[in-house]
Structure 1
Amino acid sequence: MKVSIKKISQITGFSPATVSNALNRKKGVNPVTSEKILKAAETLGYQQGKTITKIKFVTYRKNGLIIDDSQIFPAMIEGVERQAKELGYETTFCHLNYEDESFEIRLKEFLEDTNCLVILLGTEMTEEDYVPFYDYKGYLIVLDGWSDEMIFDGIMINNTDAVCNAMEYLVEKGHREIGYLRGDYRIKSFRYREYGYHRVMGRHRLVRKPEYEVTVGTKLESAYQDMKKYLEHTDRLPTAFFADNDVIAIGAMRAMKEKGIRIPEDISIVGFDDIRFGTVSTPGLTTVRVFKQEMGEVAVRRALDHIKYSGKDIKMKIQVCTQFIERDSVRQIER
């Protein structure tokens, strides 16, 4: 049975007008009263119906170490906007920059506005960054991120399985000494990708050599500089590297080429994301294609499920599959 304002009024003892004002976050309602009404409404499963007409896309920028250089997020935004428009919803945009002096003010303003369905880009967010959102009274879905507390729905890349597939490809190509170019800022996606790397190394009983697991910056320039330093202090390389993403792979490739290391003749490289730079690099970068626009579209459809199927409290973690793209940065090793 649908819960009405009248029902909440009867249970809480407050007038229907007061209940309505509290549910719509109108000023003039005593904070204690408002909290009691909102809590009762949540307990009863009250839904205000399809009054929401906007989807708000919120970009959370922790430090820019991932999203500033990446080409995948504009495509995700395009997917969100396109799907929302097709379904009759307007898209608005909000930026939360953790490094900005006005961050706390902007965050407070965001948390007080519950008139939109929110898609939060969580790529750079760590577990503690989600804490302020735990008490958000509206509906929020995280795109390219995940909270272990399962407070929100999440749309993610199937990172671990995708890397397992890429690593199996290297093994099939005859590679037994496979290194790992790991980003120094350990976002959730990178951690899941690392699981895939270690899983396949263990599955094939390949020896893990710490000197082959290289930590580099996550921007093109920092990946290049860190790889350059690494090459100055090593005499031996693996036959292949898996890189956390294409930005890291391309930065490292530049450093190796300057050192006279040929790709793929001397070393093979596999990236992740399938950004445009990888298609025009020399050689073309073998990588994992992420369906960026489709992820945005899935996020919109899942957000709108909250309206269509109200009262469902089960949280969902949806993983979007990828596609392995073979180009010219990996060679076959004859044994």
Structure 2
Amino acid sequence: MKISIKQISQITGFSPATVSNALNHKRGVNGETAEKIFQAAERLGYRADRTISKLRFVTYRKNGQIIDDSQIFPAMIEGVERQAKAMGYETTFSHLNYCASDFEDRLREVTDDTSSLVILLGTEMLDEDYKFFMDYRGYLIILDGWCEDMAFDAVLINNTDAAANAIEYLIKKGHKEIGYLRGGYRIKSFQYREYGYYRTLAAHNYPKNPEYIVTLGTRIETAYVDMKYYLEGEPELPTAFFADNDIIALGAIRALEEKGIRIPEQVSIVGFDDIHFGAVSGRGLTTIHVFKQEMGEVAVRRAMDHIKYPGRMVKTKIQVGTEFLERGSVRDIK
């Protein structure tokens, strides 16, 4: 027997209108009430008719310091489109620019649409940026980002373990003085990679040398300029650096080579992301490959679970594994 909204209303004590609004993710129903209604609906086996026919891919640009120059996001978008099409769904696109004068209008267009499953590219988002979506009554999943309040599902890179494994690799190559080229704009991914860096140094009882920690801009040109300035001080260099991403690594390598410092003979470098330029530059940049298209596909499949299992309130954090790529930018000094 098909369970009706009226039956759920009788059991929960909420009006049919409130039950309907909650099940259809409309505004005006507080979170506690909505959760009680969803739990009752799930116990009774209620299945709403599938009214969602498309996905909305939303790019959130905080300042452009990461996504403007990155090559990984087109691949993520391709993965989203391909998986959505395979499952019979159309993909629409929205762009939110936090610095734009029409930001609030564009944001309202997204948050007023509860008929789409929203995949939000959260690469440049910090904790405070998620406040704009906390009252959203539809389904939203974050791609390449994470909200510490655990208010949304998320699909992201296994950043900490990947970075830790990169430091382990350098240690196995005989490096004990390992520096860190950290991006100046501390997105979540960079923070998690920093955890991995320090975690592995601590596990091997290696000291933290502040002189080996260099903060650089997150574009090739700004990373180059900042590294050049750092080198003007004639610092004592470590035998190897781990960089937050390939863009930062390539900018730093340019400055090092201009200074006459040979890679990897004098300094080894490991990047992160596996962008195309890294594979063809110099001897090739040792890096961590990110499965970009697959991340987009996983986000779509997780979003579709919202239709298949309506009312499930548990949030999930899915971390996608990486692959270490050994090229020519690391020297074995054992």
> Shared fold (TM-score greater than 0.5)?
yes
How many corresponding residue pairs? 325
Local SS of the residue matching 1:277: helix
The structural deviation recorded for 1:7 is 3.6
User: Percent of counterpart pairs with the same letter?
Assistant: 66
Local SS of the residue matching 1:176: coil
1:144-183 matches, within 5 Å, as: 144-183=144-183
Letter in 2 for 1:333: I
Q: Taking structure 1 as the reference length, what is the TM-score of the superposition? A: 0.91
Local SS of the residue matching 1:242: strand
Q: Does 1:187 align with 2:180?
A: no
The 3 A distance-change label for structure 1 pair 130 and 211 is same
Match in the other structure for 1:290? 290
How far apart are the structure 2 equivalents of 1:21 and 1:126? 31
How far apart are the structure 1 equivalents of 2:237 and 2:173? 17
How far apart are the structure 1 equivalents of 2:151 and 2:99? 25
The 3 A distance-change label for structure 1 pair 266 and 25 is closer
1:26-175 matches, within 5 Å, as: 35=28, 42-45=35-38, 48-175=48-175
RMSD: 2.1
Match in the other structure for 1:277? 277
Q: Does 1:307 align with 2:300?
A: no
How far apart are the structure 2 equivalents of 1:157 and 1:214? 23
**Maintained 8 Å contact 2:22/2:29:** no
How far apart are the structure 2 equivalents of 1:248 and 1:157? 18
Match in the other structure for 1:218? 218
**Maintained 8 Å contact 1:8/1:41:** no
Q: Specify every segment of 5 or more residues in structure 2 that has no aligned partner in the other structure, as ranges.
A: 42-46
The structural deviation recorded for 1:4 is 2.8
Local SS of the residue matching 2:226: helix
Match in the other structure for 1:30? none
Letter in 1 for 2:28: E
Q: Taking structure 2 as the reference length, what is the TM-score of the superposition? A: 0.92
The structural deviation recorded for 1:51 is 1.3
Match in the other structure for 1:201? 201
Local SS of the residue matching 1:298: helix
Letter in 2 for 1:44: I
The structural deviation recorded for 1:35 is 2.1
Match in the other structure for 1:29? none
Letter in 1 for 2:72: I
Letter in 2 for 1:106: R
The structural deviation recorded for 1:234 is 2.3
Local SS of the residue matching 1:315: coil
How far apart are the structure 2 equivalents of 1:328 and 1:173? 13
How far apart are the structure 2 equivalents of 1:36 and 1:162? 41
Match in the other structure for 1:238? 238
The structural deviation recorded for 1:38 is 9.1
Letter in 2 for 1:114: T
How far apart are the structure 1 equivalents of 2:31 and 2:186? 37
The structural deviation recorded for 1:43 is 2.8
Local SS of the residue matching 1:300: helix
CA displacement 1:67-118 (0-9 Å, x = unmatched): 0111000000000000000010111101110010000111122111100001
Match in the other structure for 2:44? none
Local SS of the residue matching 2:28: helix
How far apart are the structure 1 equivalents of 2:15 and 2:223? 62
The 3 A distance-change label for structure 1 pair 2 and 226 is farther
Letter in 1 for 2:264: P
Letter in 1 for 2:37: L
**Maintained 8 Å contact 1:23/1:37:** no
Local SS of the residue matching 1:35: coil
The structural deviation recorded for 1:204 is 1.1
**Maintained 8 Å contact 2:56/2:119:** yes
How far apart are the structure 2 equivalents of 1:265 and 1:13? 73
The structural deviation recorded for 1:24 is 6.2
Q: Specify every segment of 5 or more residues in structure 1 that has no aligned partner in the other structure, as ranges.
A: 27-33
How far apart are the structure 2 equivalents of 1:36 and 1:306? 19
Letter in 2 for 1:144: D
